[in-house]
């Protein structure tokens, strides 16, 4: 998502309908807390806030993407993102027999439409473009958007109820991993505590308790990975759901390549001594802040991705790392210049708009550096051009 205005919680007030919905979500979570004896893990809180049936942020019918939502993703900023990605997909599909495309969490459907449109011009269309979307509301919105924007190609799109089996081709996941629930912890010397969520005076509050064994082993693993212990009173997160998710994703792929885009860093960067408050980010009406306990169900909750943990899980599941680059280098390596070939022939207004889009996608202060792409391959697949220069795999 595009970097938004950071705020000290000077957030816009939700409208009456949104506020009422948030109260219903809060009541739902309060009941879960009561059932669990007074507190739940933050991972459980995040799961409920984002995915509670009929209530969670990603499964309710509210607008999430674009100017009228809470954030804007790269495919919505500019079709350049999807066009460059389509070029890489075409190169992979050439190497795979009967290769298809599978997208996880297709958002508004903009990326799917852009990829299909570009592949059509490259004469590289797959028979099927599969989408796995947990939200029935988003599935409907995606279907309507694709039927309108690419009516001649929409019939190729098929929504799946689960991960495919024995899939060959290209898998795309743009800003999916950051929405996986994370555990929060605090460590002071040898004392490790799990940071949980409780209710006090009618509001959600942080609550510390003894860390379960699974969390303790995971934190020990981080310290071994980075080669040092955490400093005193250190707080952060870890995504215990990442390994099984990546394992499922890799194991559904027989041959081809997975493109994962997200905001994130390596393990050593993630758990740097000066990052003692973690990487959780919330988005509400294009305002970014760090308090996940407010506005349940109507704000997006995310955590930056530990790409080292992601890569380790992928390799353990049988994948190879095809490359790890910044979004800027992915685009520049992958054909951005070719997509801008007719720039000088455009009207001035079009040139200005295209320049604006390119800057948002590639400048370090925008999306160019914080967003990364990691490629995971299975089978005899040649890495695409997007990973040819400035590959950072050795840093993982």
Judged against a pLDDT cut of 80, whether residue 62 lies above it is answered with no
5-182+239-389 belongs to which CATH class? alpha beta
Task: With a cut of 60, say whether residue 8 has pLDDT above it.
Answer: no
Q: What is the pLDDT of residues 238-285, one digit of tens each?
A: 999 999 999 999 999 999 999 999 999 999 999 999 999 999 999 998
What average pLDDT does the chain have? 95
Average pLDDT over residues 20-36: 97
Q: From CA 13, how far away is CA 17, in angstroms rounded? A: 11
Where are the chain's structural domains?
Answer: 5-182+239-389
Report residue 61 as tokens: 């019918």
Nearest CA to 55 out of 16, 17, 26 is that of 26
Average pLDDT of 220-249? 98
- pLDDT tens per residue, range 85-122: 999 999 999 999 999 999 999 999 999 999 999 999 99
**126-148 mean pLDDT:** 95
- Cβ atoms 188, 233 nearer than 8 A: yes
Contact present, 129 and 115 (Cβ < 8 Å): yes
Predicted pLDDT of residue 3: 45
pLDDT, tens only, 289-329: 999 999 999 999 999 999 999 999 999 999 999 999 999 99
CA distances from 72 to 2, 59, 65, 268 (A): 6, 18, 6, 28
pLDDT score for 6: 43
pTM, to two decimals: 0.95
- pLDDT greater than 50 at residue 4: no
Residue 146 has pLDDT above 70, yes or no: yes
Distance separating alpha carbons of residues 60 and 53, to the nearest angstrom: 8
Question: Residue 286 has what pLDDT?
Answer: 83
Distance CA 237, CA 276 (A): 10
- Give pLDDT, residue 59: 86
Asked if 181 and 241 count as a contact pair (C-beta separation under 8 A), the reply is: yes
Give the count of beta carbons closer than 10 Å to the beta carbon of residue 258. Answer: 24
pLDDT at 137: 87
């Amino acid at each position: 998502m595009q970097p938004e205005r950071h705020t000290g919680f000077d957030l816009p007030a939700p409208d009456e309908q949104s506020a009422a919905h948030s109260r219903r979500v809060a009541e739902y979570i309060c009941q879960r807390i009561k059932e669990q004896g007074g507190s739940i893990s933050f991972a459980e809180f995040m799961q409920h806030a984002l995915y509670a049936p009929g209530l969670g942020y990603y499964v309710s019918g509210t607008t999430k993407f674009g100017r009228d939502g809470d954030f804007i993703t790269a495919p919505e900023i500019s079709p350049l993102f999807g066009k460059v990605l389509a070029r890489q997909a075409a190169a992979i599909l050439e190497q795979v027999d009967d290769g298809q495309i599978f997208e996880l969490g297709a958002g508004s459907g903009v990326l799917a439409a852009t990829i299909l449109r570009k592949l059509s011009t490259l004469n590289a269309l797959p028979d099927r473009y599969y989408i796995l979307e947990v939200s029935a509301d988003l599935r409907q919105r995606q279907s309507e958007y694709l039927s309108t924007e690419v009516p001649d190609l929409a019939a190729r799109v098929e929504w799946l109820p689960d991960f495919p089996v024995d899939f060959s081709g290209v898998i795309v996941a743009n800003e999916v991993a950051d929405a996986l629930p994370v555990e929060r912890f605090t460590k002071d010397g040898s004392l490790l505590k799990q940071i949980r969520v409780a209710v006090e005076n009618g509001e959600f509050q942080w609550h510390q308790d003894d860390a379960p064994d699974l969390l303790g082993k995971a934190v020990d693993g981080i310290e071994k990975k980075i080669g040092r212990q955490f400093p005193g009173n250190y707080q952060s997160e870890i995504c215990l759901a990442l390994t099984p998710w990546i394992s499922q994703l890799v194991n559904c792929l027989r041959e081809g390549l997975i493109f994962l885009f997200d905001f994130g860093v390596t393990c050593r960067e993630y758990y740097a001594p000066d990052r003692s408050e973690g990487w959780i980010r919330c988005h509400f009406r294009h305002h970014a802040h760090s308090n996940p306990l407010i506005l349940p169900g109507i704000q997006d909750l995310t955590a930056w991705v530990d790409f080292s943990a992601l890569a380790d899980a992928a390799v353990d599941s049988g994948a190879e790392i095809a490359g790890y680059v910044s979004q800027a280098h992915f685009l520049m390596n992958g054909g951005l210049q070719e997509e801008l070939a007719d720039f000088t022939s455009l009207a001035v207004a079009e040139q200005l708009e295209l320049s604006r889009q390119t800057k948002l996608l590639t400048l370090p202060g925008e999306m160019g550096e914080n967003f990364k792409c990691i490629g995971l391959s299975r089978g005899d697949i040649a890495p695409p051009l997007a990973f040819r220069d400035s590959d950072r795999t050795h840093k993982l």
